[in-house]
Amino acid sequence: MEMSREEARRRAARKRAAAKRKKYRRRRLMVLAAGLLIVALLVVGIVSLVTRAVKKNQPASALEPTAAAASAVADTLLPTAAMTALPTAVPATPIPATPAPAIQADWYIERTEQLYKNLSTYGNYPDAASIYRALDKMQIDPNGKMLALTFDDGPYPPITGAILDVLEANHARATFFIKGAYVDANQDLVKRELGLGCEIGNHTTNHDDLEKLSPADRRTTVGDVNDKIYRLFGYRIHLLRPPYISYGKKGSDTREDIVAMAKELELAIVNHTRSSHDSHEDYTAQMMIERILAEKDELGRGLNGSILLFHDKYQKTVEAMKVIIPALQQQGYQLVTVSELLNCSKEGLHYGWIYSKAD
């Protein structure tokens, strides 16, 4: 008799759990349907406007639906730059990866919503369920070991694509500090970076030395990159890596101006804490591997919390990454983006701050 009661309790518990799972799936589908409905209504509205224009015999130039839609979006979302390309539409309300994010903080919720948008717009996923699974793999344990891989000077084919191949094969992510002058001819690479959940940072238009520029020219070379990335991909950059680690000496007018510019443009200035030395001609892939995987660097600093520097323009970097990435993962490191790393730190992420242990 006692066993039958226990069995009844177990059955009731299983029924309640099944009901909860069914309720969550139904809620998730309802949110997705609502987002798709909004997109459909926008399309219907555009078609309706075009139809009325035809009836009024307006000029042909006024009947281009794509141009009209782009202009409307540009006026509301992009007041500082002309719209030249629209990303694929995504649900108006991004759906979180799970009902309970690993980190209960506003920045983490916003980060997950941005990832959902990037993966659904630029990623190679067949359906929403596969996006949810990918986002679950990108959850962060704030108490676990983590570091950030960073790559400067791209997008640079075919090296950038080869590095993305290694990242994708290992379900890893990184931060790419890009040169604005390389973006127009390599938009597919930037889309793929975003589609894999990577972060985009600013490395100026032409690898410009900020210390040698006037305040106005600094704002142009940095601001133009931010504007271009937002115009083309709907993505806002919040990290700046000054070329040559050049942002003025402490207390100088140059540094004060660069910090002020960063605050104005909502950027954090990010240095690195360990370099791979891949830009050194005499450094081989094996030397890079040994240097990066060393428990301590020459200053006695460990790997946990590190920002590692590479360049996505050398074949030896590709070969080194094939060893470095799985080795770091086997050691238990989470390969997060720079913004995620900084937000998980005690200091947090702040615009206008300079993040550099070597400063």
Residues with a catalytic annotation lie at: 152, 311
C-alpha triplet 160, 161, 164: angle, nearest 5°: 90
Cβ–Cβ < 8 Å for 310, 149: yes
Instruction: Please count the other Cβ atoms lying within 10 Å of the Cβ belonging to residue 359.
Output: 10
Cβ–Cβ < 8 Å for 104, 146: no
Distance CA 254, CA 85 (A): 36
Distance CA 227, CA 212 (A): 22
Rg from Cα positions in the chain: 24
CA distances 117 to 33, 44, 184, Å, are 16, 22, 21
Cβ–Cβ < 8 Å for 159, 315: yes
CA distances 159 to 156, 164, 166, 312, 349, Å, are 6, 9, 11, 6, 30
- CA 198 to chain CA centroid, Å, is 4
129 Cβ neighbours under 8 A, 6+ residues apart: none
Distance CA 160, CA 310 (A): 11
Helix (H, G, I), strand (E, B) or coil at 232: helix
CA dihedral 247, 249, 253, 257 (to 10 degrees): 20
